[in-house]
Chains A and B, each alone.
Chain A
């Protein structure tokens, strides 16, 4: 071998490592353990062409055109002429319905996960009519297509200056304990409403299931249906590890989305694979754009800052990059689960900016020996102030609290 051929050989080897002849489009052969494939499917599931030819798309709440769509929920045709729409989270949303042609037709629509206090309107632009609220999170109505005009379903939620959000994570093997938490939330919602400080949403930061099985998700749906306000979800590692079926997305819709409710903007990130998709990382400035909201939350399953809990991202480089985006966007609170415990990291220095992260993996998953600490985090918003505190929901057979407040995080007053 001549010496001159050695560098050529090395360059060829380097080129060979960076290019392949056997490439294919992202997720052409789906692997739903890959976060990019879940990005694709959560967007696919946010639109549907019904059997009768009606194109239904979740839209940005401010959208006027139907050229695109967003992963703002889940659309299913449950029977010919009947569609079920699950809105991803609290706050404003929009859905466009483009009929197949001029011929008059109709479609039965069920909207799930909508705040009972929300104002929902239906109809072509300029001819909207309000859909009355039955006092639950479900609205059922008929959409009539009198002509070829696009029908819009839009919703907004009027808010007082004081309101609350609840946050928890990690249900896994113990949905019965989660039901106890839901009952506590039902009681709190009524009390909070009476105090003029409504509870406007429950955020669950992943690990709804233990084994990513369809039946586990199906068992949870009626429990979520009992919650008297919208539930925003994102998957955890236990929800996505069966690569052949996107069971989480098929049941609950997207894991990567943002919503604004009252004065808070929330970015939900699917970190089930121990990292987020690169395409989602590229959208972080957009997802974290608080608009006019006074508060900004970032929610995901794996805590981007794990301390020495042992429960972090599988890609620490991307965790650091995500923390950078949170710091740059001036996120008020990072919320996570994964660790079946309650942790508060109040001062994480990222580029000189102090971030606060609370891990609240207390929705029912096994916490090992000893009396577990179950419950949820309550975030009380009042103008510019946001006050977090923990509501403990003890397991059956236990009177009184199982744990003590953390040094930097109090238990809520009874």
Chain B
């Protein structure tokens, strides 16, 4: 716990320092077709970015510098404060999970703000991309970390994903998010006890196979988002738009576990998130910080060894669930071709950094003796390619999940027109 607190402080302090570093001033400005990326915004100068230079209604003004500084400060206060509370109160704080969530979420927000400062300076903060990366309508994902152990196998996880969207009006929408997944084969582990080594075995090493696992699962949720009026207050500091979010969700895993000579046991683990609420803060036209938090209930069911019928469990209170994401849009085909010709496709990218405060998926971020407190860290890069004039776009992504080792993932999907389009 002491190390956790020290980690929080050591992360938080440099972030606060960076937040107040004066950035190189660029022109505050309105992007034009000739100069669509007017550079980083001045720290104290509002940037009025037009989402579409041809549109009559411009995008509201944002001050990305102060917004990121505020995010950085809040993350430092939240992360370091929570770490300090954990350290000071120790485990006397019987319900310590909210503080642990704040440490992880705060660190992510701070790291996101720092990366955001760099991205804003290098790539520009606006205008907002009209066709930015969002969840694909349908897609496939592949994820795996492999194994380096002789005689073991760790097949990748294949998933089919979907996320159709229905816009109620210009400010609110609902997205059905889902995923069906399964391991492409059986995961196998050996028993390293030397007394079991079979010197006569050949090919796969002398350590006998001890454990196998097959897995399938699904996740289903509804993601509702409502934009708040902007600016909320008349004398707003113009720190960026905000959305409120509600995402009830259920995640389910069924695993077939081969327990050595004892037999096969089926285990079902369900995570229910009925009150997962969150918010999104558009800290610049191209950068967003999103978080979700909510209570979690688990249901664990199982079969007898080599049995098929399951003994069903009832919901039990589980650790809090939380997510924090920092997304940065990157325009890849913003400038016209040198020859003046039109591009055949519009391509946009998105860099996402995330922290998920849940080890339900079997991954948790540990360091030193800090083991069993934090969830995994995500880093993802996604690209959307939309041929000129096409209604359907392709989306490709790759990323890494860090926690109990790491897993590399890749996604490919199609972006179809929304079920009900956003009214203009």
Contact = CB atoms under 8 A, between A and B. Distances in A.
Interface string B292-321: 000000101110110000111111111110
Contacts of A26: 149-152, 190, 192, 207
A57 B303 CA distance: 37
A48 to B, nearest CB: 13
B23 interface: no
Interface in B118-158: 142, 144-156, 158
Contacts, number: 261
A307 B195 contact: no
A274 B304 CA distance: 26
Interface residues of A, number: 80
Given A18-B154, A39-B192, A351-B311, A369 B89 contact: yes
Interface in B205-256: 205-207, 210-211, 253, 255
B342 interface: no
B96 interface: yes
B266 to A, nearest CB: 9
A302 B147 CA distance: 25
A314 B190 contact: no
B362 interface: yes
Interface in B340-363: 358-363
Contact of B1 (A47, A241, A312, A340): A340
Given A237-B372, A241-B368, A368-B88, A321 B267 contact: yes
Nearest to A275: B404
The interface size bin for chain B is: 35 or more
Nearest to B191: A279
Contacts of B151: 25-26
Contacts of B152: 23, 26
User: What 8 pairs between A and B have smallest CB-CB spacing?
Assistant: A368-B90, A310-B96, A351-B311, A314-B364, A310-B97, A278-B189, A274-B372, A340-B91
Interface of A: 10, 13-14, 17-20, 22-27, 36-37, 39-40, 43-44, 47, 68-69, 71, 211-212, 237-238, 241, 272-275, 278-279, 281-286, 302, 305-318, 320-321, 323-325, 327-328, 338-341, 343, 348-353, 361, 366-370, 372
24 contacts: A23-B150, A25-B150, A25-B205, A26-B152, A39-B192, A279-B190, A279-B193, A279-B210, A279-B211, A283-B210, A285-B263, A286-B262, A308-B95, A314-B364, A314-B366, A316-B319, A320-B267, A324-B267, A340-B1, A367-B90, A368-B89, A368-B90, A368-B93, A370-B92
Given A308-B317, A366-B90, A368-B93, 19 more contacts: A23-B148, A24-B148, A25-B205, A37-B192, A39-B191, A43-B193, A43-B195, A71-B193, A272-B371, A281-B211, A283-B259, A309-B97, A313-B364, A317-B361, A320-B269, A324-B300, A340-B91, A350-B300, A370-B89
